[in-house]
A and B are shown apart, each in its own frame.
Chain A
């Protein structure tokens, strides 16, 4: 079990490749795997792996050991009755091919014999008129037939002029024996019933045997779940083990909709500022200022700070990043003190010369202006 588990983990890790997976799972601080990565790889992945193995095991067992048997035999005991009759639909209950056996207990009578015949339900009812009998109503479980006592309406026919049970024209097939009778039907229909005449009131065992041509497949769902779990385990060991901001970077780099991304910090800041303007009773002036050209660098800086992944890590000073890391936290409050983030940005990207920064801001301001105009047009 443990071995399997380890292989699953290794397999999951190998999905991304060792070179990429290892650095991705580490955050910027000191090269150690993050707590998130440890939980994902150390706890969640093994659990999913174990479940996957368990599902495979159950699927395998269902395909072999626990596979539903093709042979179904159900029996029951009847007491103190002469006639036993199956209900319509009981014969083809499990499969069209059915073998029915009736075995009377006790010694055989002098001229009595046990007979079983296949006929229509109405024929059996007609034959039974006025006689009590035992109905076979179905199955209570896979090995037991269910039964019910009943009595046929009508008058029992006078003895004279009767044909013997075995000689009646109504039966499609009939079998008789001293103590037992066996009938085999290749293609039983729901309309057909088997009527058993035990010769006299006695106890008997009735058994029905079917060979199922199709058995339910319980293994496949387990294998399917196992597959799903294995995929999940692989994902938890690779993609889900990365710090969330690393994962987000990929989305930004794909540049599907880079400008429409709104950082959580920005959103909170926006709502906070709205609140603040409502209190200060100068909503128009404030709002206008936010869209003014002078305010743009502050917004841009805020965006850059809350989306540090835009910056190519290759050109970043990671040591400086680490030093300024706590500045990520107070980002929501940045709007209330407009000039402060500008300084923060200056610190974080100290490798960039002020001239470069200025030209960048100029470009950004232009872009933002275009963007705002577009927004107003809409």
Chain B
């Protein structure tokens, strides 16, 4: 009798122990895998929604400055050549009373190119739609210099009519950023910009002229220069324009088809010396506005900021380096 009771108790205890082992079982505990880390490293730096949001904030800052005709707040969201260009455009607007049409930045975009790079600085290339008055698309270059800074508009180039941009991966995949020394191209981005500056300065006389396809900026500069040259010669004056690549002001994005889209700042100084007894005057409305009520002398020195966008094709493609867009704005007009 006692033995049976002990057996019963033992059986009960065993059953209870087994039940306890089964109770509250939630399944196998999930674990983090190494693949998760790899996936994280390859992800694009921003989503398209983030790009839209931050671009909206940048455009808001620009709009406020435009409306107030006060460039002091621009530095929060603008940097590099774009800050110089916009500051100048606002200064001109203060004199003329309205912003230049060229300064319009559409808020809708055709495409955005998000980098996948881990480090900083990071650069986002965004191509807007055409403006309401059918001006060409704008190429916006947004850059984040460090993790604890926000993206700022670094460069803006107005694309030339009919310019063909290379293909980029969609934002959800992202594109790798290029470097100024990217190899495997007809020229490194750095070299391409140096050579283009030479072509802008010397025109068809440049030793690199044949490396570059014809483009609007080159043509316009050549025409303008020829016209001014003609006028100056009539007054026994001289004119000279020098182009200098701004050091470090170069952003590169690798396209899906192997070419690099390079955006760089080239500073130019246009010195015009009038003939004896004559004054050298500003050559455009913008120059006039910037010169303001300054006292004209025989020589006028105008500093321009040029933002140029070049497509540098792969070495064996047989293509020429092509300028696809540019912005050119006088930032300083002085009589010397």
**Footprint of B on A, CB under 8 Å?**
58, 61-62, 65-66, 68-69, 72, 87-90, 93-94, 120-123, 125-127, 129, 137-139, 141-142, 157, 161-163, 167-170, 172, 189-193, 215-216, 218
Contact = CB atoms under 8 A, between A and B. Distances in A.
B304 interface: no
B26 A68 contact: yes
A122 B41 contact: yes
B118 A122 contact: yes
Interface residues of B, number: 38
Interface stretch (B30-38, B97-105, B130-138): B30-38
A141 B50 contact: no
Nearest to A72: B26
* Nearest 7 CB-CB pairings of A with B: A89-B36, A126-B147, A216-B27, A88-B40, A190-B36, A191-B43, A121-B40
Contact of B149 (A68, A161, A189): A161
Given A66-B22, A157-B148, A138 B31 contact: yes
Contacts of A163: 148-150
B23 interface: yes
A121 B27 CA distance: 28
A218 B41 CA distance: 37
Contact of B26 (A87, A125, A142, A161): A142
B25 interface: yes
Given A66-B23, A88-B36, A169 B148 contact: no
B79 to A, nearest CB: 11
B109 interface: no
Contact of A139 (B30, B35, B39, B54): B30
Nearest to B37: A88
B162 interface: no
Contacts of A122: 40-41, 43, 45, 118
B147 A169 contact: no
Contacts of B28: 216
B146 interface: yes
A65 B146 CA distance: 53
Contacts of A167: 150
Contacts of A93: 30-32
A72 B29 CA distance: 11
Given A89-B33, A161-B149, A170-B46, 9 more contacts: A68-B25, A93-B31, A122-B118, A126-B120, A127-B147, A169-B54, A190-B39, A190-B40, A216-B27
